[in-house]
Chains A and B, each alone.
Chain A
Amino acid sequence: MTKEIYTILLAEDEEASRFLYSEELTEAGYRVLTAANGLQALGLLEDEHVDLLMTDIKMPDMHAMEMIPLVRADHPDLPILVASAFKGMEDDFNLKGFNISGFFAKPVNMELLKNRIKIILAGKIPSVV
């Protein structure tokens, strides 16, 4: 029997935050992949089917602004959410034409985040595991 399940990739260097998102989203019924830095995230994107990417802005090896173009090269339509301690950077990302689906300032309101993910993935055909 095939179960329709969406896969979310979390790129977050902060272990506590990563664990928090992972717990919340797993509980909400998503398959969660986690990466502690940009390179790990890019590797997982190559190996796995991912329906949505949620990324931190500042990671030890690369900035979200460096990573997103690399992601977009292979996955032009992948929904991307950005979460950061920096407030008001939404404009910067939009101006760059990164086609971001959402921006969340830390501390992230989990209910809002889950709602947004739900809406984004509603029209999308989930991956089959």
Chain B
Amino acid sequence: MTDLSVLLIAIFLPVFPLSIGFNALFSRIRQPSLRAVMLLGWPLIGISLYRLLEPQVPGWLVPAALATAVFYGFRSLSMREVGIWTGFIATSIWACLWLPLVYGDRDVILYVAWFGVPLAILALLVGGLEKRYGAAYSELYGGLAQTIPRFSGIFVVTLLAIMATPVFPAFFGMLSILVASKPAVAFTLASLWVLWSWAGMRLIQGMIVGNAPDDVIEDTPLALTWGFAALMLVMIIAGFALTEEF
């Protein structure tokens, strides 16, 4: 019989259908900063519970977690509301955290930082879009690259970081999970990675491409853009530094 503690952890390292709780809650929270905190904190609760309860992980769990990751990755392909999209991709990523936990990887917390920070930034960007346009919706207004170029730059770089593009640290995170996996799991993970890329690029296209609307919209301040660039640089350097054991 499945240990109940596994089911409890599966709420925070979401496995379908328990993942519904996270997504329902996430879509109801409208405050961007709260969403950002939730994106960083939710998986940390799961990891802490795992370490505290040390449950016996049943054999079905890893396939179920992978299926959840693929399922939400697939759903994110057509999701146009950027906030909900963030929740779906986060679910897909956090479900994958079961793998390093089961493999006994001591650095699981780092994966949360590598994926979670860009996800949290995206949640804040969604807030910025809602403030400017009233909604953060792909293919609704488009042309952001011309209207608010600095914001678009941040948006694109954040999405690339979420999609585990090199040289962002999530890339090394994906590689280390892949290396520890058996062929079938590695193949699924590699395919999932493509799915994230597809979903991410569709979102980029829906937001930044197209003719700019005539309205004058305020762009992100230069200082904030530099702050973002510095944060990304720190993450990249940290990512490099932490790959010494590779």
Query: A and B: real partners?
Result: no
Give B contacts to A, CB under 8 Å: none
